[in-house]
Chain A
């Protein structure tokens, strides 16, 4: 699924990284636990989260994650957007809750991450 489609499905605002809307992801992961993100994300994945601290960007950077959706209309502060920009990460903000946002993407065919051959 292209990032552009994610933006449309979630009625999201692009906070940074408009130039990367053409990129594609194979899976989605919804979580506020950064160690879980490090442990389970292993392919082109969109991260949906309500956590808007710098560690979210650092975590994304470590695993080459290039798109993050902040849910519940959360807007991170400028320093975080700057960090995302430096790392070529697209940041979207949607008014939907984590559950609803994940559900909307799931029903359009975006699955969860695959761990040990199984979709989780």
Chain B
């Protein structure tokens, strides 16, 4: 049996503007979670938050990384990029607010729902960013509550 602290870690490099490969990391993570026998509703929420995070890195940043840590209690997803940072986080969290280019909107993104979707789907959500610096989003989805 797995011990209380058993962890599995996944790390994905996300390349800016690479729309061909965008989504591969989330897809891979999704397969791992399914393979581990995690409940499909939880897999779905983890997939949505990771995919939105991945698309944000591709669309809005200079590139970054997504780290996923899986324990019996929870899935933790950390999405970090190299910049350019978010000037007004509150504004960015508003549904419908987007800074995406027209090219991105033509791909079906840039509707301004990414960050709100991410927050809605996880149990813990934390975003830190400053203009000119990195953006880091830490999200947790509980698999089971500690008794």
Contacts and interface: CB of A to CB of B under 8 A. Distances in A.
Contacts of A39: 113, 116-117, 120
B46 to A, nearest CB: 9
For this complex, into which size category does the number of interface residues on chain A fall?
10 to 19
A59 to B, nearest CB: 7
Interface in A21-72: 32-36, 38-39, 49, 51, 53-56, 58-59, 61-64
For this complex, into which size category does the number of interface residues on chain B fall?
20 to 34
Contacts of A55: 19, 22-23, 55, 107-109
A53 B23 CA distance: 12
Given A33-B108, A34-B108, A39-B113, A58 B51 contact: yes
B52 A38 contact: yes
B51 A38 contact: yes
A62 B108 contact: no
B122 to A, nearest CB: 13
B65 interface: no
A35 B117 contact: yes
B26 A62 contact: yes
Interface string B5-49: 000000000000001101100110010000000001000100110
Interface of A: 32-36, 38-39, 49, 51, 53-56, 58-59, 61-64
